[in-house]
Amino acid sequence: MSKSFSPFNRPKKHRELFEAINAEVRAAAEARREFAISGENVMVYRHGRNWSLQQSANPDEVSKFAEASMEVTIRGSDIIDHNISSIDNYVVDLANGHQKLMFQSVISLADKATAQTGNVVLSGPNVGASMLEALRKIRFGTDRYGRPTGPTLVVHPTMAKKLQEMESKQTQQEIDEWQITTAFKEAEATSDEVERIRRFRWTP
């Protein structure tokens, strides 16, 4: 009695293929995340789904993890035609989808936080002055080594080009104001970090 043959009956090969593809997706998504958010500012939680920050303005507020999902279509014709390039497209589409969801989550969180605190700057015709006002309102943080870190601005490429052009046309007075404000914010962040460490340092 002959045994039927199935070209897809290769569970071990399937597993190895999916593991390799998933590794490519993770690497691509991580590269996109690193471009926008430094790895020094990423925290990894080993357990739990909720947390609160005692040093925040509202220490009783509990934050929760948000789950995101996406769908990617692989056409049956690509499989039938042995179109290997569809694997690359699959990896890129998943990484791009992850990046889009990440930015949406960050911007949504920032929008919610600013709405709660009233920490909003209405941009007028002088965009440079509005950005300086925003810089004066925010508080710098520190990385894991205690070094002050400034804010990250996420804008459309067209706006980024416009901001770069504006920066190149700054007057010396505007440059001095930026430098003075930045130095003050960095000193403020360093002082906050020293106080935070002091509270958690054990004294015999």
Instruction: Work out the pLDDT band at 42, boundaries 50, 70, 90.
Output: low
Q: Is the pLDDT of residue 67 over 80?
A: no
Instruction: Work out the pLDDT band at 1, boundaries 50, 70, 90.
Output: very low
- Whether 67 is covered by a domain: the verdict is yes
Q: What is the DSSP letter of 124?
A: -
Q: Maximum CA pair distance of the chain?
A: 91
Same domain, 113 and 160: no
Q: Do 140 and 150 touch, CB atoms closer than 8 A? A: yes
Same domain, 178 and 107: no
Same domain, 52 and 140: no
- Whether 1 is covered by a domain: the verdict is no
- Whether 92 is covered by a domain: the verdict is yes
pLDDT digits (tens, 9 = 90+) for 94-148: 888 888 888 888 788 778 777 776 667 777 778 788 888 888 888 888 887 888 9
Final residue in a domain of this structure, among 117, 142, 161: 117
For residue 6, give both structure tokens: 């199935």
- What SS3 class is residue 92? helix
Same domain, 145 and 187: yes
Same domain, 107 and 17: yes
Same domain, 158 and 109: no
Same domain, 112 and 146: no
Same domain, 134 and 177: yes
Same domain, 26 and 104: yes
Name the residue range of residue 80's domain: 11-117
Neighbouring C-beta atoms of residue 127, cutoff 10 Å: 13
Same domain, 104 and 151: no
- Whether 6 is covered by a domain: the verdict is no
- Whether 96 is covered by a domain: the verdict is yes
- Whether 112 is covered by a domain: the verdict is yes
Same domain, 88 and 157: no
CA dihedral (106, 108, 109, 114) positive or negative: positive
Q: What is the pTM of this model?
A: 0.49
- Whether 109 is covered by a domain: the verdict is yes
Q: What is the spatial distance between Cα 105 and Cα 99, in angstroms, rounded to a whole number?
A: 10
Which pLDDT score, from 0 to 100, does residue 185 have?
A: 92
- Provide the CA 192 distance to its chain's centre, in angstroms: 23
Beta-bridge partners for 148: 142
Same domain, 22 and 88: yes
Final residue in a domain of this structure, among 97, 117, 137: 117
Matching residue, tokens 């739990």: 48
Q: Helices marked H in the chain — which ranges?
A: 11-36, 76-80, 85-117, 127-137, 157-168, 172-200
- Provide the CA 5 distance to its chain's centre, in angstroms: 48
State how many domains the chain has. 2
CA dihedral (47, 48, 50, 51) positive or negative: negative
Q: Is the pLDDT of residue 197 over 50?
A: yes
For residue 65, give both structure tokens: 């993890």
